[in-house]
Amino acid sequence: MFIRTQVLFDEETLHKLKAAAKEQKRSVSDLVRQLVESGLERQRQEELRRFEELLAELRQIRESNAATYGAPPPDLLQKVREERARELEELWKLSS
């Protein structure tokens, strides 16, 4: 189902859109929908790629720290997580 919306283009952009739509034998609306979808997908892919890069950097930092200082014991990590959960619960209670 499509929902009607309004988009404003400058003359040159609208001319290019109409020419491209005519060349492809499709409506301007159809072309705009396809271009928006592909742009959104490209943006999502770029965000995912950047997220994966950041995760790789984080892994390198963790490995470097573990090589330099040794890995923290698993129970210490659990203790920190539990402490943070308690802090968040207290904040939640205070805001209620």
At 1-45, the pLDDT tens digits run 999 999 999 999 999 999 999 999 999 999 999 999 999 999 999
pTM: 0.61
- For residue 36, which of 66, 81, 73, 5 has the smallest C-alpha distance? 5
- The pair of three-digit structure tokens given for residue 24, joined into one six-digit string: 């492809």
Q: With respect to residue 50, please indicate whether it lies within any of the assigned structural domains.
A: yes
Q: With respect to residue 4, please indicate whether it lies within any of the assigned structural domains.
A: no
Q: With respect to residue 76, please indicate whether it lies within any of the assigned structural domains.
A: no
Tally of structural domains, the chain: 1
